Structure 1
Amino acid sequence: MSELVPNQTETFRCPWCLGFEDYIRYHDEEWGVPVYSDRKHFEFLVLESAQAGLSWATILKKREGYMRAFEDFDYQKVADFTEEEIERLIGNPDIVRNRLKIQAAVNNARKFIGIQEHYGTFTDYIWGFVDGKPLQNEWKSMSAVPAATELSNQIARDLKQKGFKFLGSTIVYSHMQATGIVNDHLVQCHRHQEVKRMAMY
């Protein structure tokens, strides 16, 4: 990620989002906002597992394609995908055509439902790791932001034990950042305090 600092007469943003307009919009409107919707959590899990080995920018550009291909991220429907439907997805140019990642998304939908059956909601499960309170970091540079933490290691291990695939610690930490479980906006970013005020679980 670039450490370039935008013109200080403009709004300061975390430098990683400055590549293109949709990236900036995602940073300004979604990244770090606490998520309490199970469907939205499932959406990010699908997208983040697809990201493995790729950039988030690549996945963001394919987001609408994923929305269409995965039934608007309805995990009940995705859990019922047949082998024939998986084969069709592998030929879909609007998503990452990786068989293992697509199979993982279908597998993870089924495990996602299993978590709901045990914990009530996936939201209750994932937020339980932080007692419902977003972790508020105070990073001043992108180089200080970790790729994974002991907590993401713990969650990744638990998900693996529950049968999830393509959700290692780095991807789990990305999920925590995206869904507001941790606030990793730089302190000088205009969204840092805005996101901090959203902690209302």
Structure 2
Amino acid sequence: ANPAITARVILLTSFALRMTTWVAPHAWQGTVDATSTATPLALINSGATDELPTYAQMLIGERAGCLGETCIIGLLIGGIYLVAKKVISPIIPVCYIATVFVLSAVLGQDPVMQILSGGLFLGAIFMATDYVTSPITNKGKVIYAIGCGIITVLIRQFASLPEGVSYSILLMNILTPHIENATTPKTFGVGKEAK
């Protein structure tokens, strides 16, 4: 399993309050040191959609959330750089984000807000693409990414947690060996092993 995702899941489980309490954007400009606020996904789950930030605020990171997951433009620039340098393949991030978009729309949610909220871009670009814990075949990458997307949407829509990215990547990491076995092409001319 991806060590960063595993550590994050352990921290989320062990220190839920500390890991889900955020400082409001621009709180430092006020008279108080910091103001606690809810993330966009928590606002959606509580039904307070009138308090949601705009799409533009979501893109530039003017919202509550974990360090590194709020500025979508910055994450996209980093992802494009990694693809251009051939460090990662775009298959997993594109399929993962597209799956969340489509399933959110099917379930009646705002798909744009769902993909811009939470750690989806951070997880899809930088965590789900880990060489050791993700499949190596293109077909395996598609299956893995779609699985991550389905689990993320299911957790966001039907579980008590507002976010499901870390859990979905961890669960699909566990399934990666099985995905590899199912999608690795057989070598031409090699017969089955004798039992």
TM class by smaller structure: under 0.3
The TM-score, its normalising length taken from structure 2, stands at: 0.27
The TM-score, its normalising length taken from structure 1, stands at: 0.26
Larger gyration radius, structure 1 or structure 2: 2
Which structure has more relative contact order (CA 8 Å, sep 6+)? It is 1
